[in-house]
Every structure is written in C-alpha cells, then in structure tokens.
Structure 1
Amino acid sequence: MNFAEIIYTNPILKRLSEIAQKTGIESYVVGGFVRDLLLDRPCKDIDVVCIGDGNGIHLAQKLSETVDNNTQISIFKNFGTAHVNVEDWDVEFVGARKESYQRDSRKPIVENGTLEDDQNRRDFTINALAISLNRRDLGALIDPFDGVGDLKRKMIRTPLTPDVTFSDDPLRMMRAIRFASQLSFDIDPDSFDAIQKMKDRIRIISQERIIDELNKIVLSSTPSYGFKLLYHCGLLQYIFPELVALQGVETQDGKGHKDNFYHTLQVLDNVSKNSNDLWLRWAAILHDIAKPATKRFDARVGWTFHGHEDAGARMVPNIFRRMKLPMNEKMRFVQKLVRLHLRPIALVKETITDSALRRLLFDSGEDLEALMMLCRADITSKNHEKVKKHIQNFNKVEQKLQEVEARDRIRNFQPVITGEIIMETFGLAPSREVGEIKTAIREAILDGKLRNDWDEAYSFMLSTGKKLGLSPVNN
C-alpha cells in the first residue's frame, strides 16, 4: 500500500502533512485509522502524535486556521491534547507520551516521550501502527511489533508483555475482546491467558468505561463471539453475573432443560442479523434473565420457568442502574419487550380471540415490530421442521394483528373519554373513582364490547358512574 499517495489524495492528511512540514513538528498518524486503512474499513477518526511538549496543541491550532470558521477545536492544556472537528473528520492531537502506572489506578503518570515510547504504550500491535507525515520519510509505515503481520493472521496481541499491558490498564482486557468481536479476530494465547489470570483487576475500572466497551461488543456483527470470550476468560462473572447464572443444564428424572446462556446468545445473534438497534439487542440479552430465579421441576411436565417474563421485567431497571445504562425510554423499551416476549407465542392458536389480539396491539403499541422480531429470534430449535412451523405460526399471528389493527385502530389508541371529561361530568377531583371509570372504558373497548366512539363511550361512562353511585352534575 502506497501511504504517500494516500496522504496526497486525502485532503485532511495532505493538509496535516503540509502543516507538519511547514512548522517542522515531527508528526505521525497512529492507531485505529492506520489499522482500518489496512483492513479497508471506513474510518473518520484520525489520531496524530506529535513529538515535543505542546506541539500537538500547536499543530491542532494551525489546522483549525486553514479551514472555515465552522471548525470546532477543543484544547486540553493539562493533558497536552486537542481535538479538531473538520468537515466530517474527527482529528485528535496528542504529544508523544511515556506512561507508568500504579497498581490501584488506571490513571497513568505521563511524561514526554518519543514515537517509540508512544507505540510501546499502545494496547495492541494492530493499534501501534504509525504513518509518517514528515518530509524526510513521508508515508513511511513504522511497525515495530509486526502489527501488519497480526492483521494478516487476524490476531489480537499486546506490544509488550500482556501481564504488563493489562496490569497497567485493565480496561484493555475488555478492549481485547471488543476488537476480537468487532473484527472476528482471535486473541493471542499468551494475551488470553493473561486476561484469565488478571480478570479481577477489572474491579478498578469505572462502570461507565466497562459498559462502553460492552455495548460495542453487543453491536458487533456476531456478538455471541465476544460474550463467549468474556465468559471463558472469567470477566463476565465480574461485569454481568446475571447472564452467567443462565449457564448450565440441570437434569432430574431423566429430564433436562436447554442451556439458557447459549440459547440467549443465539437469540442475540438472530436479532443482530436483522437489526442494529442496541436496545433491541439488549432485550434479546435480557429476555430470559429471570429463568434461574423461576426454575422449578414438575414430575409431570419437567422443568418450568413460569412467570420469568414478569420477573425479568422487574429485574431490568436494577440491571440497567448497576451497569450505568440509561434509565429512560431505552430502559422502558427493553423492559416492555422482556415482559411481552411470550405473548405472541400464545396467540398462535386458531381459537385466539380478537380481544387478545387487541390487548397485544395496545400493550406493545409502536414497539410491536420489535417485539415480533425478538419473538422470531427466540426460535432456536435445531429441528428445522419445528422452526419452520413456528415461523408459519408467527406469520399467521402477524396477519391477524394487521387485520384487527386495520379494523379497530388499537395501537397507541386513547379512549375518547378522558379523565378530565369524567371529572367535569361528575364534578370530581382526581380520585379512585375517576381511575375506575377510565379503566372500565378502556377494558370495554379492548374486549370489543364498546367502540371508541363518543356517543357509545359517553353513555358507557354514565352507566359506569351510576354503578359507583355517581350522578352527572348537570342533571
């Protein structure tokens, strides 16, 4: 690969090299951009290492002066770094650093260093590659640890001894698995052994940093690979014990249940084939999370997990809170899908009522498509005929749901009679009676006993109020 030609043809790299040569600042493009260039992966993030104290900030300022006023520059003098957002590129400038660590912290003691020092401190050989922006060797690839060879071998390996690399910054253990999952690479045996040996060091890492790496694993094309690596190296027990609790098969009276850990990972992969939605993938991860708590053995039917959908939905907020996932509509979306994930399965019977279909439409609302995608992904049988039959049943359910929705418009519906109308009609303040009347109207509509029509609903409201001993204030 001719990196000099790439520099000349890439407008940002060309501008960077011209500034570096004009100012005389020794500069290199390092890390992920070089790696992705060699892998032919798109990348809009460029890391530039500059030799000499303050030169990274100086180079960033010079770059910002060459572009229009819309360019955003952020300077962090305490760290000697700067960030420039130019057009659709993110360019990070740092001074070459030499780092040392104390055992109880991942925050390094930083000194000015050489390019060699900077490459030594990188997490993996494939991220330690550098391209010169300097006149004397423009486009030269500096690869002291055979990162190019590791790219060809599809191998994640540390530049220095893995014990040192992971002890200095234990987050790198998560990053090793994240890169392996994203790139479909193997982890070097010595590096994987070091992760197994030092897994407890992950405790000093903030949950925010851990969940950032875990979400990137969840979003990889085959996330089960990353989770299996996390499980086998022992990290998963520290960061997600509820998922580990799903692992294993118990047998009693010759009856066993499936391994819910590997089933969950298969569901996650199935969802990932059809959606890049992070939160739908989290719903797949958590859909059976309460099975260990609800597992019971019945001599007649074998193992049961009654109520695991409701118990799982109750677990979701605590898991999100502990893992520093967002406690907002994202969490509520996951919680809803966990609670509802068995409902469509119950609708495959020919005798299912329109009322049951209306209730699923109402309860799932705008998330019905996501729910059905999760339910389809939940079919993991190795019996192809059984899978085919389940898919056909789901097709029938979806057809019935479409027919009911087209007729009744239940999804996200609001009864024409609101709480305000009830209070005004009966002269009530907010109270239990208002809630009872609202619920009765909604249930009657969902049961098909009442159309969501003003005259019908108003009359129903009056009759319900009468049963509660209420009279309209205008009568």
Structure 2
Amino acid sequence: MTESTNTNALSEAQRHAVRQLLRISPVVDELGVRFDTAGHEIALVGGSVRDAFLDRLGQDLDFTTSARPEETKRLLSGWADSVWDVGQAYGTIGARKGKFQVEITTYRSEIYDRSSRKPEVAYGTTIEEDLVRRDFTVNAMALKLPSREFVDPHEGLPDLGRRIIRTPGTPERSFSDDPLRMMRAARFAAQLGFDVASEVTAAVQDMADRITIVSAERVRDELSKLVLAPLPRRGLTFLVDTGLAERILPELPALQLEIDEHHRHKDVYEHSLTVLDQAIELEPRLPDGGPDLIIRLAALLHDVGKPKTRRFEPGGGVSFHHHDVVGAKLARKRLTKLRFPSSVVDSVAKLTELHLRFHGYGSGQWTDSAVRRYVRDAGDLLDHLHVLTRSDCTTRNPRKAKALQRSYDELEERIERLSEEEELAKIRPDLDGNQIMDILGIGPGPMVGRAYRHLLELRMERGPMSEDEARAELLAWWAQQSPEGD
C-alpha cells in the first residue's frame, strides 16, 4: 500500500469515526460528564474506537477508567437502566443504557504466571499504562471523555490505514502477558482481513508452546470467533504456519499429507480450506442464513480421518477407506477436548460421518427407501448436509463438477417430492408402541422395541402403509418369533 493510499485510507476512516461518534454521542458524553464530575478519567477504548474508524461500530461499547469497580458501580447507578458486576474480579462493570450495552474496566495490566491458566489482574494508574498492555496497536487507541481527546501513543491509526496487526510493545512481552493474544492475531486477520506483522509472526512461532497454559474454554471461544469471521482461511493458515494449530487443533496441520511422486492425490489440507470457503458461500441456504459454526467446523474437519486411513494401492492409487467413520471419532474427541457444547460436538461428528453418503447416488441406483434413509439419518442436520456435500466438490473438471451438481439437484428434488408426500423428517412406523402391544397382547419390554424397528424398516422400504396392512405385517413377523424372542 502506497503512502498516498495510506493517507486516503486514514482520511476515510476518520470520516467514518466522526459519523459513528455522532451516533453514540448521547451515551459517551453523559458518561464522560458523570465520571469527570466525580474526579475520574474515562475513555472510549479498544475495539470500540477501532470499529468506529472502520464504520462497523455496534451497540456494545468499551470504556476504560481510573475509577475502581466499586466507584464505577456507584456512578452507573441511577444512570444506567441496569448494572451487573459479574466481571468485577477482573475490574469490569457492565451496564445497559437504552439500546447500548457498555463495559467499563479499570485501568489494568493482565499478566500470566507461567504455571497458571488464569490471569492476575493489577490495576494501573494512567491510560497510557493501560494502552501499552493492550493486545494490538489497532486496539490501543482511546477517546478521552468528555473532552474527546484522541489518544494513540502506539500509532494504531496508521496501522489501521496500513491494515497491519502489530503489538504496542514487543510481541514477546505481549504474548507473555496473555498467550491467547497469539490466537487473537489470527482471529483479527480473519475478521479484518489484515496482515500480521513479520515480528509478530516470528514471536508466535517462537512462543507457540505458551498457548498450552491457556484454558480450553478460552481457546475454544477464540477459535469459534476465528471460524465465524468473514475470512477464516487467513486465520487458520496463520495458526498452521506458526505452529499454533499443532498445539490446539493438530488434526488440521496433519491434513498436509506428503504427496508421493508415484501416488499423487489431492492436497487434503488445501481441499479442506476450499470446502470451508465454499460452505461459507452456501450458508444462505441454511435456515438461519449463517454465519454457522456447525457447518464451518464440519467443512474444516470432514476429512480429518484421511491421514489415519491413507493406503497406497497397487497400481499407484491412494485410498482412504472408512475415513468418514474415523474422522467422526477424531472430530468428536478434539471438539470435546476443546469444551465445545455437546450439541456442536454431536452435530459436527454426525456431518463428518455422513459426508460421503451421497457418493454413489450419481449411479442412479438409489431407491425411494435409500432417499428416506438419507433424510432420516441426517435428521435436523439435513440442510447442513446438503451444504457440506455440495461444498465437498472441489474438482477442477467443469464437466465432472456440473454432473455432481445435477445429481445433487436431483436428489434434493426427490427429497422435496417425497417429503411433501410422506413428511420424511417425521418418519415413524405405521403403528405406535401402544398399538403394537394391543395387537400382540404383550406388555412393555424388548419385543415391543424389536417390533417397532421391524415396522420402521418396512416403512423406510415401502413407504406408508394402511393400519390394516401394518397389522398384517406385524402379525406375520410375530408368527416367526420364538416365545423367548430369539
């Protein structure tokens, strides 16, 4: 980026900031006067100032103050609509005022003991001391209130214009204070599309092991933000290239399989990133429209079983038999270790296990019963499976790509047609448990479950039956069972 371009970028950013500050002026001005009258400093800070320059400031506002938490609570009482102190141990008091949510944190420094997973909080005395402890220069800018004096001791605004991620002090000091900042560098690259400064990258490479002292929950939250960012590939590539991924998500760099000169196959790592890119493009097909954590994690991890299942075949081929099943287990294990909610773990593992199911449909041999099973096995994740399967086509052969797209279009049309006729998502046997017991004259027990599953299989194979037909099938099945149910 040239000097002229930098200047233009800053000028535009400054115009954005003025517009944003005019929008939030009632809140910031009132807080500024309130704290100033009480003899305390307060400033809009960090991400709020950065986002104002980027014209993306939302309703969540961050402030820093010389006031201690108890005093902050007192000053907010009677002004805010509600106040909460769940972050008080870390110097933060939260409040809501109209449509705005504010967090006000006492000047502080946050330092990790090398054997501890929890930060030690020490209060600072000046805003300059607070800003030098911030993670990156673009987050180390402040706007003092009520004077609206702009404070930028570490040239965050020029870095914003250059679209670069640097640390206020040395990156080694910053990452020693809080190792999670190494992951935040990746996250901001993914969120903002910025480049990471070479000295920051080098420090992460040297200090990657330091991430292991950070709790799984904090790593999970940062990874989720990265994956949900507009450009996750940038952040994930940074994690892999610096060695961070090896410590937190080793299955990802493991996809960089060596390609034997006699056994050439697709680069699984690059393929997975491409699938992620394509899944993001297809997110509007999902009920919520995206960004969607489950589909993005599934796209990223769907092939993690390949390294463990790779086999070189006679004649120069390469196989990955059962990598879907192995991958589902690996994805479940990793996401569980990172403390993702069970709903996310179960969904990503299920999509990983099902992602190959479609392959074979193109031969045109799928019966209606196969389509019913596909829908039933996907359950509530059917829309996600549609997106994942379509995204998994990364062939450079246009004819092959179009053929796969036509096949999946046809499958979705068949699903839609059968769904209208049979409510596929709610497939149940034509008789329920009570009817089974009444017809067979038995009480609750294992045989009821076996009969239920038999009728469900018939339902999947044949489609809906009348009650009389289902009764006849049940009695015919029952006649073949031994009294013990063997």
* CA displacement at 1:250 relative to structure 2: 2.9
Q: Pick from 445, 453, 464: which aligns with 2:466?
A: 453
C-alpha displacement of 1:272: 1.3
- 1:41 aligned partner: 56
Report the counterpart of residue 381 of structure 2 in structure 1.
Answer: 367
Cα distance in 2 for residues equivalent to 1:319 and 1:162:
29
SS, match of residue 104 in structure 2:
strand
1:271-307 deviations in Å (ceiling 9; x for gaps): 1123211111111122111111221222147111111
Greater Cα shift, 367-376 or 182-191: 367-376
Equivalent residue, structure 2, for 1:104: 115
Q: CA deviation at 1:75?
A: 6.2
Which AA in structure 1 matches 2:297?
W
Gapped runs of 5+ residues in structure 1? Answer: none
> 2:375, 2:316 → 1: CA distance?
31
2:335 is aligned with 1:320: yes
Q: CA shift at 1:231, angstroms?
A: 0.3
Rounded Cα–Cα distance in structure 2 between residues aligned with 1:402 and 1:304: 34
Q: Tell me whether 1:123 sits opposite 2:132 in the alignment.
A: no
Structure 2 CA distance for partners of 1:36 and 1:451, relative to 1, 3 Å: same
1:170·1:205 contact (CA, 8 Å) conserved in 2? yes
Q: Equivalent residue of 1:241, what SS?
A: coil
Rounded Cα–Cα distance in structure 1 between residues aligned with 2:172 and 2:447 = 67
Q: Which moved more, 1:242-251 or 1:198-207?
A: 242-251
Give percent identity, aligned residues only.
35
The 8 Å contact of residues 347 and 357 in structure 1, kept in 2 or not, is answered as: no
Residue ranges of structure 2 left out of the alignment (5+ in a row):
1-13, 284-290
Give yes or no for the alignment of 1:113 onto 2:125: yes
Which whole-Å CA distance do the structure 2 matches of 1:88 and 1:209 have between them? 28
Q: 1:410 aligns with which of 411, 424, 430?
A: 424
Distance 1:432 1:470 in 2: 12
1:144 to 145, 153, 160: 153
Q: CA deviation at 1:99?
A: 4.9
Distance 2:280 2:421 in 1: 33
Match of 2:219 in 1: 210
Q: How many residues align?
A: 461
Question: 1:419 maps to which residue?
Answer: 433
Between the aligned partners of 1:366 and 1:75, the Cα distance in structure 2 is 35
Amino acid at match of 2:303: D
1:26 and 1:50 in contact (8 A); partners too: yes
Contact 2:80–2:96 under 8 Å retained in 1: no
Quick check: 2:107–2:127 contact (8 Å CA) kept in 1?
A: yes
**Compared CA separation, residues 226 and 66, structure 1 to 2 (3 A):** same
Indicate conservation of the 8 Å contact 1:28/1:48, yes or no: yes
Q: Provide, for residues 130-153 of structure 1, a one-character-per-residue CA deviation record: whole Å limited to 9, x for no partner.
A: 00103xxx1121000110001011
Alignment match, 2:71: 58
Q: What do the CA deviations read for 1:98-145 (whole angstroms, capped 9, x no partner)?
A: 4555333352351432111001111100010000103xxx11210001
Of stretches 4-13 and 459-468 in structure 1, the one that deviates more from structure 2 is: 4-13
Q: Using a 3 Å threshold, how does the CA distance of structure 1 residues 430 and 245 change in structure 2: closer, same or farther?
A: farther
Partner residue of 1:399?
413
Q: Is the 8 A contact 2:306 2:320 kept in 1?
A: yes
2:215 is aligned with 1:195: no
In the TM superposition, residue 413 of structure 1 has moved relative to its aligned partner by 1.2
Contact 1:57 1:94 in 2 (8 A): no
Question: How far apart are 1:365 and its partner, in Å?
Answer: 2.7
Out of 385-394 and 6-15, give the one that drifted further.
6-15
Asked if 2 retains the 8 angstrom alpha-carbon contact of 1:192 and 1:233, the reply is yes
Task: Compute the displacement of 1:251 (Å).
Answer: 2.1
Q: Which moved more, 1:36-45 or 1:412-421?
A: 412-421
Q: C-alpha deviations, 1:39-87, integer Å up to 9, x for none?
A: 11132222211124x2x5434433341244xx24326554443111223
Query: Would the alpha carbon gap of residues 292 and 79 (structure 1) be closer, same or farther in structure 2, given more than 3 Å must change?
Result: closer
**Paired residue for 1:258, among 249, 266, 273?**
266
**Candidates 38, 41, 47, aligned match of 1:26:** 41
| Partner of residue 293, structure 1 | 308
Q: Distance in 2 between matches of 1:78 and 1:174?
A: 24
RMSD: 2.3
Compute the displacement of 1:358 (Å).
1.7
User: Secondary structure at the residue paired with 1:46?
Assistant: strand
1:312-364 deviation digits (Å, cap 9, x = unpaired) = 2233332221111112x332222221121111222122333222112112222
Q: Tell whether 2:251 aligns with 1:236.
A: no
Cα distance, 1:247 vs structure 2: 1.0
TM-score (norm 2): 0.89
AA of the residue aligned to 1:131: L
Of 172, 186, 193 in structure 2, the residue corresponding to residue 184 of structure 1 is 193
Post-superposition shift, 1:427?
A: 4.1
TM-superposed CA distance for 1:91, in Å, is 1.0
C-alpha distance in 2 between matches for 1:21 and 1:463? 86
Matched letter for residue 433 of structure 1: M
Cα distance change, pair 318–75 in 1 and its aligned pair in 2 (3 A):
closer
Moved more, 290-299 or 6-15: 6-15
- Asked if structure 2 preserves the Cα contact closer than 8 Å seen for 1:4 and 1:139, the reply is no
Taking the aligned partners of 1:339 and 1:99, their CA distance within structure 2 comes to 42
SS in 2 for 1:345: coil
* Correspondence for 1:343: 357
Paired with 1:43 and 1:371, the residues of 2 have a C-alpha distance of 33
**Structure 1 position 468 matched with structure 2 position 481:** yes
Letter in 1 for 2:453: T
> Normalising by structure 1, what TM-score?
0.91
Q: Is the 8 A contact 1:15 1:63 kept in 2?
A: no
Q: Which amino acid aligns with 1:315?
A: L
SS at match of 1:266: helix
Relative to 1, partners in 2 of residues 1:250 and 1:386: Cα closer, same or farther, differing over 3 Å? same
Alpha-carbon contact 1:8-1:14 (below 8 Å) kept: no
Matched, 1:333 2:347: yes
